[in-house]
Amino acid sequence: MGVAGMKILISDSLSMQGVEVLEKAGFTVVVKSKMPKEELFKEIKDADGLIVRSGTKVTAELIAAADKLKVIGRAGSGLDNVDTPAATRRGIVVMNTPGGNTVTTAEHTMSMICAMSRRIPQATASVKAGKWEKDKFMGVELYNKVLGIIGIGQIGSHLTMLAHGIGMSVVAFDPYLAQESAEKMGVTMVDLDELFRRADIISVHTPLTPETKGIINAHAIAKMKPGVLIVNCARGGIINEGDLFEALRAKRVAAAAFDVFEEEPVKPDNPLLTLDNFICTPHIGAQTTEAQENVAVGIAEQIVDYFTKGVAKGAVNIPAIAPELLPRMQPYLTLAEKLGSLQTQLCQGGIERVTVEYSGEVATLTVAPLTIAVLKGLLTPIMEHAVNYVNAPIVAKERGIELKEIKSSDAGDFTSLIRVKVEAGRNTHLVAGTLYHKKDARVIEIDQFKVEVVPEGHMLLIHNVDRPGVIGMVGKVLGDNSINIVRMQCALEKRGGNALLIIGSDTEFPSGVLDQIKSSSNIISVKVANLS
């Protein structure tokens, strides 16, 4: 495919090495950062490709104004500023460069740890103010200290290596990491409460999700060692800023260091900024020359490959498969990803093995992209950085997840069937799905229960004893809390045995509602899954 006459718009600052890759390939490259909205909408109208960093907000409105746009490339891993569903609906490929910032962000985290442990920013300010307060800036050694890492992804893993080099020991909490992988890294896996009790320094490296929002709060801080150091170079909101302020002011937490905030840019009146034992940087964890060159060249090469070879490397919304096969594969890809996502949200413990079985017509297809889709769904809810069709197998391998594929011609009563078995800890979980009318995804098995579930939206899965009144009780609790039931199904293991009640809603299920349901003597377990 020729690229002469194709326009690539770069709307944020980008390393010149990336621009040169595009120009050498023959593209017309327009570099304009910090454009007013009117100018941006004018420039996007005839652009074939768009490259952004974090400054440009690629909204549905902007995407709708792009008459020729075929690909959006994010020079970095985060895609918070790109409306990927809107792009997908328009048939626009969205790409990123996962892993390009791993080393840089880990190094920045370690730099923050060193800076706050030796009070370097405060001492620098003192000397520049004409003072020589040597006795005021007593620090602490990192040697033999315990670093607690919440979330061992790529950045957490590299930070572990840096910590070992200083002579620190590392404990970590990550419910999705297999024990064997942790042992190879020299990490001791613990539960969250034990990490709080043991760690001298705590660093968070998780995505911001409903489960991780405010994971460090007043209740958690009360369990920590007096004088603990806390650092956040991951996502704003993982640490409750109000609770941390009170703990820092009372010296319950000796010091804290942030590269990210709940609201960015951070407001000048944020109380944390008034504290001498709090240091911060303006979200520069990925700001090194090397990292910016890596992501700039990476995204430029990916866009060249897409337009010249049809290879969608680094795509987050389509797999790297031949375009002519995509229409037939797309429904199966959606089903496979939903099954993987459901598994992660239902199972507990470090994932050790994943077995994907393809039966019937689907077994005649090239199933590798489908297996990758399962892994993408499995890993996305638990990873700090974006998981896509390119890096999902690598991420799974790094986490010590064994993968197995099985093909069978017999799909029983169905034309096609995909089964996903996950072994996590000492438990095995099974989900299976099929396509109705060759396009509509359905979940038809959850462990020992035969079901027929549309895998979308917010789902409440209640494992209960088969007794009269359970459905009524659940319905009343949801009704009392103004939660709309979109769909509901009850599956029975055997009469008088256990049942599975599945409720779909268009809104989230608050924790208080879950607690009310759990309090019933007939309830065995209550789990939620978001398959939006």
State the Cα–Cα distance between residues 148 and 112, nearest whole angstrom: 15
Is 254 in contact with 229 (CB distance < 8 Å)?
Answer: yes
Helix residue ranges, H only, 315-391? 326-346, 368-379
DSSP secondary structure, 431-456, as one string: EEEEEETTTEEEEEEETTEEEEE---
SS3 490: strand
Could you confirm whether 264 is annotated as catalytic?
A: yes
Give, in order, the Cα–Cα distances in Å from 447 to each of 128, 343, 345, 463: 65, 10, 14, 11
Give the pair of three-digit tokens for residue 315: 């795509």
Spatial contact of 143 and 168, defined as CB atoms under 8 Å apart: yes
Task: Say how far apart CA 388 and CA 78 lie, in whole Å.
Answer: 12
Judge residue 530's burial from the number of C-beta atoms within 10 Å of its C-beta, 0-12 exposed, 13-18 middle, 19 or more buried: middle
CB atoms within 10 A of CB 131: 11
Contact 202, 216 (CB under 8 A): yes
CA proximity to 345, closest of 389, 377, 299, 309: 377
Number of H-type helices and E-type strands within the chain: 17, 22
- Residues 82 and 98: their CA atoms lie apart, in Å, by 15
Nearest to 314 by CA among 99, 103, 98, 101: 98
Give the three-state DSSP class for 173. strand
Q: What is the CA radius of gyration of the chain?
A: 25
Cβ pair 508, 481 in contact under 8 A: no
Residues in the chain: 532
- Residue 283 bears catalytic tag: yes
Q: Which residues contact residue 380 at a Cβ distance below 8 angstroms, ignoring those fewer than 6 apart?
A: 341, 344, 386, 387
| Marked catalytic residue, from 180, 264, 290, 452 | 264
- Distance CA(14)–CA(30), nearest Å, equals 11
DSSP annotation string for 325-345? GHHHHHHHHHHHHHHHHHHHH
Please state whether beta strands 427-436 and 416-424 pair in parallel, antiparallel, or not at all (unpaired).
antiparallel
Catalytic residue among 90, 118, 198, 283: 283
What DSSP element (H or E) covers 243?
helix 241-249
**Looking at 205, 235, 385, 419, which residue is catalytic?**
235
* N- to C-terminal Cα separation, the chain: 36
User: What SS3 state is found at 428?
Assistant: strand
Q: Which helix (H) or strand (E) holds 257?
A: strand 253-258
Amino acid at 230: I
Residues annotated catalytic, as ranges: 235, 264, 283
